């Protein structure tokens, strides 16, 4: 048997992996920033951060995956966007503490690691890194036949960012009377896909190319499900360190119900006025067809809000102006009140008195 033939017969093609990695190295190098000191392929990536002007540099790290959105990508035969989803999700997770990303690491696992699919996945990661100004410093690929099913891919990412401790956003400045601003999402982002897939494909018997019932924008199922997870770094960057920005919450798995309380100090709770923003039609289609209670919808899906800002009421006009200048729409969706934690929903249709921006 030729060299490497035994491993290949067991389902792992080292030569095919290497062909894919040649393209991956080129993609990663296209993201390199001045802090990168190493080439792709070393045992560890080297990065020297610029600490100029920082009095107490703090590293902020996070890890996440794309979840079963990958199943939709597999159905569509299109893995080109999920890498961007992954980066944007991770960047948002450290952004809520005021950190800007420095570098990113990825993991790609598969039963059979096709070189073209590997490159397609990593190209999305590289695109996301460039858009967010961070380097794809390294990563790992794993071909594990018998563990992953044929055609299945796993994609996981790890981000490391930096914030000066005096500019850290940790929720300690939150107080009763602060206003909640919601930034619109582009869709499900990367959460709630197991339920959405069951309702769309099993209950409603829809196909990827079908129109979503009741959607005035006439979006197709696959188009909406694969809409990229937005990064909020660019519009929020001018506000990092602003005295009027008291808190940030990334609305991911758990929805508004579980994510907003993660930043609340003791003695405070969030009051959200459901009806102060228009829930996009696809969510309403999912709720109706799936017979899902509103309480569960608010815990599974982001319901059209991808990020929540907690803002000092007195400085709301200035912050609203900054967001508008960045082209970012923001909607007042509630306020912080005294209480025992968690989120309380006002199900009336009247929103807060502050105008949308």
- Mean pLDDT for 320-345 is 96
For 204, the domain range is 179-346
In the predicted structure, residue 19 carries a pLDDT above the cut 90: no
Looking at per-residue pLDDT, the higher value among 348 and 256 belongs to: 256
Cα angle, residue 197 at apex, residues 116 and 308 outer, rounded to 5°: 95
Between the alpha carbon of residue 7 and those of residues 13, 109, 149, 207, the distances in Å are 7, 17, 18, 39
Question: Are residue 115 and residue 210 in the same domain, yes or no?
Answer: no
181: exposed, middle or buried (Cβ count in 10 Å: 0-12, 13-18, 19+): buried
Per-residue pLDDT reduced to its tens digit, 246-265: 999 999 999 999 999 999 99
**pLDDT tier for residue 352 given thresholds of 50, 70 and 90:** very low
Note whether 154 and 60 are same-domain residues.
yes
Copy the structure tokens of residue 66: 């794309």
- Residue 283 in contact with residue 199, Cβ under 8 Å? no
pLDDT at 137 over 90: yes
pLDDT of residue 186: 97
**Cβ–Cβ < 8 Å for 62, 159:** yes
Question: Last residue of some domain: 138, 167, 196?
Answer: 167
- The predicted model gives 17-22 an average pLDDT of 65
Q: Are 342 and 295 in contact (CB under 8 A)?
A: no
Q: Is residue 193 part of a domain?
A: yes
The predicted-structure confidence for 284-319, as pLDDT tens digits, reads as follows: 999 999 999 999 999 999 999 999 999 999 999 999
CA distance 40 to 73: 27
| pLDDT score at 14 | 59
| Domain membership flag for residue 352 | no
d(CA 269, CA 264): 7
Q: Is residue 59 part of a domain?
A: yes
Q: Do 163 and 38 fall within a single domain?
A: yes
pLDDT given at position 1: 45
CATH number of the domain within which 88 lies: 3.30.1330.10
How sure is the predictor about 354, in pLDDT bands with cuts at 50, 70 and 90?
very low
Q: Which residues contact 51 (CB under 8 A, 6 or more apart)?
A: 57
53-99 pLDDT tens trace: 999 999 999 999 999 999 999 999 999 999 999 999 999 999 999 99
| Tens of pLDDT, residues 143-172 | 898 898 888 999 999 999 999 999 999 999
For residue 82, is it within any domain?
A: yes
Q: How many domains, the chain?
A: 2
49 found inside a domain: no
In angstroms, the CA 316 to CA 104 distance is 33
* The domain boundary residue, chosen from 167, 199, 230: 167
The answer to which of 109-118, 186-195, 310-319 has the lowest mean pLDDT is 109-118
Residues 342 and 237 in one domain: yes
Torsion of CA 206, 208, 210, 212, to 10 degrees: 80
Asked whether residue 24 falls in the same domain as residue 137, the answer is: yes
Q: How far is CA 152 from the centre of its chain?
A: 21
Comparing 243 with 112, the larger pLDDT belongs to: 243
Q: Which residue, 108, 136, 167, sits at the end of a domain? A: 167
Q: Are residues 198 and 228 in the same domain?
A: yes
DSSP of 136-169: EEEEEEEE-BTTBPTT-EEEEEEEEEEEEGGG--
């Amino acid at each position: 048997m030729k060299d490497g033939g035994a491993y290949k017969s067991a389902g792992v093609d080292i030569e095919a992996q290497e062909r894919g990695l040649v393209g991956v190295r080129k993609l990663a190098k296209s993201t390199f920033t001045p802090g990168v000191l190493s080439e792709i392929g070393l045992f560890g990536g080297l990065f020297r951060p610029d600490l100029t002007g920082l009095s107490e540099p703090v590293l902020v790290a996070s890890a996440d995956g794309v979840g079963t959105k990958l199943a939709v990508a597999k159905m569509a035969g299109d893995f080109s966007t999920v890498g961007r989803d992954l980066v944007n999700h991770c960047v948002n997770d450290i952004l809520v503490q005021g950190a800007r990303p420095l570098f990113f690491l990825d993991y790609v696992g598969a039963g059979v690691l096709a070189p073209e699919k590997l490159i397609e996945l990593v190209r999305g990661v590289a695109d996301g890194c460039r858009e967010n100004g961070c380097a794809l410093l390294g990563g790992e690929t794993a071909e594990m036949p018998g563990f992953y099913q044929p055609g299945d891919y796993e994609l996981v990412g790890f981000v490391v960012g930096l914030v000066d401790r005096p500019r850290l956003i940790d929720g300690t400045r939150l107080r009763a009377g602060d206003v909640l601003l919601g930034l619109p999402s582009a869709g499900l982002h990367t959460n709630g896909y197991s339920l959405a897939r069951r309702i769309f494909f099993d209950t409603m018997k829809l196909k990827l190319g079908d129109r979503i019932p009741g959607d005035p924008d006439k979006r197709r199922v696959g188009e909406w499900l694969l809409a990229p997870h937005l990064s909020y770094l660019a519009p929020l960057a001018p506000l990092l360190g602003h005295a009027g920005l008291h808190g940030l919450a990334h609305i991911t798995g758990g929805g508004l119900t579980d994510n907003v309380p993660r930043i609340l100090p003791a003695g405070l709770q969030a009051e959200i006025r459901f009806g102060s923003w228009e829930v996009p039609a696809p969510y309403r289609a999912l709720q109706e067809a799936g017979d899902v209670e509103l309480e569960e919808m608010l815990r599974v899906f982001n319901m059209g809000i991808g990020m929540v800002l907690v803002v000092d009421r007195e400085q709301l006009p200035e912050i609203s102006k900054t967001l508008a200048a960045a082209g970012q729409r923001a909607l007042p969706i509630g306020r912080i009140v005294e209480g025992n934690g968690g989120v309380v929903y006002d199900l009336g249709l009247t929103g807060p008195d502050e105008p949308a921006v």
